[in-house]
Amino acid sequence: MSDIERLNSMLPNSLSVEESREKGILTLSVGPQHPGSGHFRLIIKVDGDIIVDAEPDPGYVHRGEEKMCEYRNFMQNIPHLERPVIADSCSILYPYCLAIEELLNIEAPRRAKFIRVIMSEINKMIFELYWLGIYGIFLGHSTMFMWPMADRELLIDLAELASGARVTHAYFVPGGVRNDLPDIFKDRAVRQLKYFRNRLNEYSKVFYENPLFIDRTKGVGILSREDAINLGVTGPVLRGSNVPYDIRKVEPYDVYDELNFDVKYMKDGDCFARAYVPYLEMYESVDLILQALEKMPDGPVRAKLPPNPKGKVGEVFKRVEAGRGELAYYVISDGTQKPYRVKLSVPSFRAIPAMRKLLIGARLADMPAIYWGLNYWPVEADR
Amino acid sequence: MKNQSPTNFNIWVGKLKEAIVKTIEPPIGYAINWGRIWSLWPVHLETACCSLEFGAASGPRYDVERFGIIEAFGSLRQCDLMVIQGTVTRKMAPRVRMIYDQMPDPKYVIAMGACAITGGLYFDSYNVLPGIDSIVPVDVYVPGCPPRPETLIQGCILLQEKIKYTKFR
Ligand code: SF4
């Protein structure tokens, strides 16, 4: 059986038009304009309150990133490659830089590796807070929008201090990072992260012990361990389904093997677990940044490169752990200044089969919680 | 009067109407525009990544609500502001127009981000519209990639300024 057939056999069959007419089934089109995150459509068939069929319709933000990569050189690709997920812009550039470094046969200096870890963890937290805030909108909990948004600004300030831009940093380049951290960065980061950790303790009381949040997420959209593995979800969704799998541990890149951290996971596989895993990971990220700041050596932050470097002939596959899961790049070079083919494998796109699986049989009111709980970021999925 | 023809009468009525409109237009127009300025409801239509900064602008630090732009959670039928948040692709364009047509008059459009203005970074992509002027009329352009929330707020204030000086219809 091919992969596609296996995937199809796991998903329920969709209903034909005649069948749905007979059974009195109503078809709803949710999106692309809806009160949550837009740019995505779900075609939902409901029988009373129960969803009998759900068809995700992505592609509203398809901007042809992969094609554009082919007519820009290695360095020119940096700004547009971080646009698919500007909330997590360092993590999406990270595997690209790793791949190009291998093609150009250079290595980032040791200080740059630590700075990359710091920035990618900060960005991961920025993404997770934004995600949590929008989850609040989906569940009708305004405090849950306001608090993470306010704390996110602190971390954005940190990232801005290092890179000069609020969200689109273009900070990682093949061969290191664009510029060194300013002198005040360390003090500022330590102070703000300590404050942020105290805030995180309050989050638990206000959000995760909140009856509203618990009622709407506990036991909703349960994804079993087998399904999670077979449907190919990654990141917090996979770890929420009792699979402690993290690229940072499985295939350490840069200096992750020198830093101590745990892979956080939950056993239940419901929406609550999927929302709780990022929360636990934020603690880990804070720890990781503090450790990296301690261990960071002095030195250069960027390897010397000729102006228009040529890659060696060959192909590379690199992956990292982003805020939403495993993010991979597959780059083929034919020995010129431009990549021959760049393939982005993004975690959001892999949530789509699971989305259909979870939505079928769920109640209509649970749809927002399931949809946003899967860590689906439409712009990234469409690329 | 003998020479009171219907034509003369019509001219007289027309002049009277003009006079009345001239006297009451400034206060009423001012009042109505004032009402519109402070109750701009944006549609929640996100088209691409600029939506992130739109979210940040309605968050606690920037808080556009203090300028009378209410957070975008409302229904389409009560909205009068459309903020195009970034790239409009060929699949999205008909939907954007459809949403614009469903909004009641008067309606205003802010083009947010380089992508909405000219295509931005994606000017040579095969699936991206080079600017949204071809599908909806734009009132204010807010440049940036993405524009900082302050820039978006300035754009909103410019729009309010524009509404203030428009003639009431
Ligand atoms: S202007 Fe920049 S941030 Fe905005 S949609 Fe375009 S690429 Fe994204």
Among the ranges given (A24-33, A96-105, A275-284, B99-108), the one the predictor scored with the smallest mean pLDDT: A24-33
State the pLDDT at residue A230.
Answer: 86
- Nearest in space to B63 (alpha carbons), one of B159, B143, B153, B141: B153
Residue B124 has pLDDT above 80, yes or no: yes
CA-based end-to-end distance of chain A: 29
User: Span A59-78, mean pLDDT?
Assistant: 86
Could you say which of A37, A59, A168 has the minimum Cβ distance to residue B145? A168
> With a 6 A CB cut-off, is B129 part of the ligand 1 pocket?
no
User: Span A12-25, mean pLDDT?
Assistant: 67
Residue A12 CA to ligand 1 centre (angstroms): 37
pLDDT in tens, B79-120: 888 888 888 888 888 888 888 888 888 888 888 888 888 888
> With a 6 A CB cut-off, is B147 part of the ligand 1 pocket?
no
Stated pTM of the model: 0.86
Question: Are A153 and B44 an interchain contact pair (Cβ–Cβ within 8 Å)?
Answer: no
- Contacts of residue A111, Cβ cutoff 8 Å, sequence gap at least 6: A180, A296, A297, A298, A299, A300, A301
Question: Are A150 and B47 an interchain contact pair (Cβ–Cβ within 8 Å)?
Answer: no
State the pLDDT at residue A322.
Answer: 86
Nearest CA to ligand 1 atom 2: B145
Chain B: closest CA distance from residue A87 (Å): 7
Q: Which two tokens stand for residue A180?
A: 């060194």
Nearest CA to ligand 1 atom 8: B49
Using an 8 Å CB-CB cutoff, list chain A residues near B87. Answer: 61, 63
State the pLDDT at residue B157.
Answer: 87
Chain B: closest CA distance from residue A311 (Å): 24
User: 3-state SS string over chain A?
Assistant: CCHHHHHHHHCCCCCCHHHHHHHCCEEEEECCCCCCCCCCEEEEEEECCEEEEEEEECCCCCCCHHHHHHCCCCCCHHHHHCHHHHHHHHHHHHHHHHHHHHHHCCCCCHHHHHHHHHHHHHHHHHHHHHHHHHHHHHHCCHHHHHHHHHHHHHHHHHHHHHHCCCCCCCCEECCEECCCCCCCHHHHHHHHHHHHHHHHHHHHHHHHCCHHHHHHHCCCCCCCHHHHHHHCCCHHHHHHCCCCCCHHHHCCCCCHHHCCCCCCCCCCCCHHHHHHHHHHHHHHHHHHHHHHHHHCCCCCCECCCCCCCCCCCEEEEEEEECCCCEEEEEEEECCCCCEEEEEEECCCCCHHHHHHHHHCCCEHHHHHHHHHHCCCCHHHHHC
**Secondary structure of residue B1 in the 3-state scheme:** coil
Residue A116 has pLDDT above 80, yes or no: yes
Using an 8 Å CB-CB cutoff, list chain B residues near A86. Answer: 49, 52, 146
Residue A60 CA to ligand 1 centre (angstroms): 14
Using an 8 Å CB-CB cutoff, list chain B residues near A71. Answer: 124
Residue A16 has pLDDT above 70, yes or no: no
- Say whether residue A143 is in contact with chain B using an 8 A CB cutoff: no
> With a 6 A CB cut-off, is B64 part of the ligand 1 pocket?
no
What backbone torsions phi and psi does residue B58 show, to the nearest 5 degrees? -90, 0
State the pLDDT at residue A12.
Answer: 55
Longest dimension (CA), chain A: 72
- Say whether residue A72 is in contact with chain B using an 8 A CB cutoff: no
State the pLDDT at residue A359.
Answer: 86
Q: Rounded to 10 degrees, what is the CA torsion of A174, A177, A179, A182?
A: 180
Counting one residue from chain A and one from chain B, the pairs whose CB atoms sit within 8 A come to 99
State the pLDDT at residue B52.
Answer: 84
State the pLDDT at residue A20.
Answer: 67
Residue B74: pLDDT band (50, 70, 90) is: low
- Nearest in space to A160 (alpha carbons), one of A108, A152, B61: A152
Residue B27 CA to ligand 1 centre (angstroms): 41
pLDDT in tens, B37-60: 887 888 878 788 888 888 888 888
User: Span A314-319, mean pLDDT?
Assistant: 88
State the pLDDT at residue A9.
Answer: 61
**Into which CATH architecture does domain A65-348 fall?**
Orthogonal Bundle (1.10)
- Say whether residue A120 is in contact with chain B using an 8 A CB cutoff: no
Question: Are A39 and B73 an interchain contact pair (Cβ–Cβ within 8 Å)?
Answer: no
Question: Are B47 and A64 an interchain contact pair (Cβ–Cβ within 8 Å)?
Answer: no
User: Span A28-41, mean pLDDT?
Assistant: 75
Could you say which of A64, A87, A150 has the minimum Cβ distance to residue B60? A150
State the pLDDT at residue A4.
Answer: 61
- Candidates B44, B47, B49: best to mutate against A (most CBs of A within 10 A) is B49
User: Span A292-310, mean pLDDT?
Assistant: 85
On whether ipTM exceeds 0.85, the answer is no
Work out whether the CA dihedral A162, A289, A186, A109 comes out positive or negative: negative
Residue A313 CA to ligand 1 centre (angstroms): 33
Domain boundaries, chain A: 65-348
Residue B63 has pLDDT above 60, yes or no: yes
What is the number of the ligand 1 atom nearest to the C-alpha of B144? 1
State the pLDDT at residue A367.
Answer: 85
Residue A212: pLDDT band (50, 70, 90) is: confident
**Secondary structure of residue B42 in the 3-state scheme:** strand
